[in-house]
Amino acid sequence: MLVGVKILIIIALMGGLIAYMGDKLGTKIGKRRMSLFGLRPKHTSIIVTIVTGLLVSAATVGVLTFTSQSVRTALFGMDQLRADMKQLNNEVAAKTQELIRGQALLEQNKQELEERMAEIEQIRREVEATKAELASAQAAKDATEAELASLQASYAEVSQKVAELEATRAKMEAHIKNLQNTQEQLQNGIIHLREGTILFQVDQLLAQAVVRPGLSEEDSNNAIKHIIDDTNKLVLRRLGIEDNGQSVVYVDRQNVEVATQKLINSKTPMVVQVVAAGNIISGEPAVAVIQVYPQQFIYKNGEVIHSTVIDGGTNAQSSMLQFLKQVNERAKYTDGDTYSSGPVHLKLRITQMPDFNDKAKM
């Protein structure tokens, strides 16, 4: 606005100055009766006035042109300005169309964005649900792994028990086979019992030994084995067979294991006896039983174990055998079921009873 005020002030000053100069110049020309181009002074004065007016207009336009870019543009660049304005209008129209399309595209993109946001929200919910399912699956997996570890441990334990049962079954099958062989031998022995010679009667002591306490398992097994070997040699001598390593004495394996455990756990000297389990017939295996009990003092020297009165006559032998059997039972057991600690060596004392009838006759 200040520029416009300055331009108006300059135009007014220039116009007034030029008009004043033109008026003075016209007055002088009129007074002197000057003539230009052979014209009359009146006409010359008119021409000077016209020229002065032109100078005022030219000066005004020149000052405006010199002081204002807009005037210069309006005077010399109007066509270009129009062309530029037209181009700008076209560009504005194009930009407006682009803006409209952009707004439509923006609305479309906004709608798509809202749809994408809805999809993202749906996906987020699905992800949360999936995470929850994953956590549940992980917990189930952990529980399954724990159960699997427990099942594996149970399987290992069951496998071990199965292996033990298989070993026990094999052991029992071998034991059953041995019992079957023993049964066959006993059945054959029944036949030979009627025809063969009885070497040892049932419950007859075959061999015995005293074993010191505190033995290890290996030493206990060796002690039982040596006693069975000695018994085998004794039976072979009674059979009149040369000892060439063959075994004729049979002892149940479970009986051997029980006897071995008694030796291992013993804290006092133990008596080990090999007793005939049945009548041992010549030519048949000798089935024996191992008995283990602590060594202890039973009878004093000269102590009477048992006494009875036996009638003479033809039944004297059977009565004597019955008496010896009773003595054997008394010597075999002490208080209750406790076995004695070894064989009892007896002296048989026979005293004739006085005849009271003969004394009466006298």
Which tens digit of pLDDT belongs to each residue from 69-117? 766 666 666 677 778 888 888 888 888 888 898 888 888 888 888 998 9
Region of 336 on the Ramachandran plot (φ > 0 left; ψ -120 to 50 alpha; else beta)? left
In angstroms, what CA-CA distances link 9 with 2, 6, 17, 66?
Answer: 11, 5, 12, 15
CB count, 10 Å around CB of 274?
A: 26
Q: Which of 78, 98, 118 is the last residue of a domain?
A: 78
- Split into its structural domains, the chain has a count of 4
pLDDT at 55: 74
pLDDT band for position 127 (cuts 50, 70, 90): very high
| Average pLDDT value for residue range 9-37 | 69
The pLDDT mean for the chain works out to 76
- Residue 321 in any domain: the answer is yes
Q: How many CB atoms lie within 10 A of CB 207?
A: 20
Asked if residue 257 lies in contact with residue 218, where contact means CB atoms within 8 angstroms, the answer is no
Instruction: Determine the structural domain holding residue 146 and report its residue range.
Output: 141-195
- Is 247 within 8 Å of 232 (Cβ atoms)? yes
In a domain, 175, yes or no: yes
User: Would you mind telling me the total number of residues written for the chain in this entry?
Assistant: 362
What pLDDT band is residue 340 in, cutting at 50, 70 and 90? very low
Alpha helices in 240-302 (DSSP H): 253-264
Phi-psi region of 225 (alpha: psi -120 to 50; beta: other; left: phi over 0): alpha
- Region of residue 18 (phi > 0: left; psi between -120 and 50: alpha; otherwise: beta): alpha
46 and 7 within one domain:
yes
- Residue 317 sits in the same domain as residue 265: no
Name the pTM for this structure.
Answer: 0.36
What are the residues whose beta carbons fall under 8 Å from the beta carbon of 230, sequence distance 6 or more?
Answer: 207, 209
242 & 330 share domain = no
Inside any domain, residue 356:
yes
Q: Lowest-pLDDT range, 28-42, 52-66, 138-152, 247-261?
A: 28-42
Least confident range from 86-95, 201-210, 241-250: namely 241-250
* Same domain membership, residue 274 and residue 255: yes
Residue 172 DSSP symbol: H
Q: How does DSSP classify residue 352?
A: P
Neighbours of 18 (CB within 10 A): 19
287 with 211, same domain? yes
- When pLDDT is averaged across residues 256-279 and rounded to a whole number, the result is 86
Q: Terminus-to-terminus CA distance in the chain, angstroms? A: 195
**Which of 27, 54, 78 is the last residue in one of the domains?**
78
Does residue 242 lie in a domain region?
Answer: yes
Cα separation, 167 vs 314, whole angstroms? 59
Residue 128 pLDDT exceeds 70: yes
Kindly state whether residues 310 and 336 are assigned to the same domain. Answer: yes
Distance of alpha carbon 115 from alpha carbon 108, whole angstroms: 10
The partner residues of 288 in beta bridges, in order of sequence, read: 251, 276
Separation between Cα atoms, residue 286 and residue 301, nearest integer Å: 34
Query: At which of 236, 267, 295 does a domain end?
Result: 295
Domain membership of residue 108 (yes or no) is no
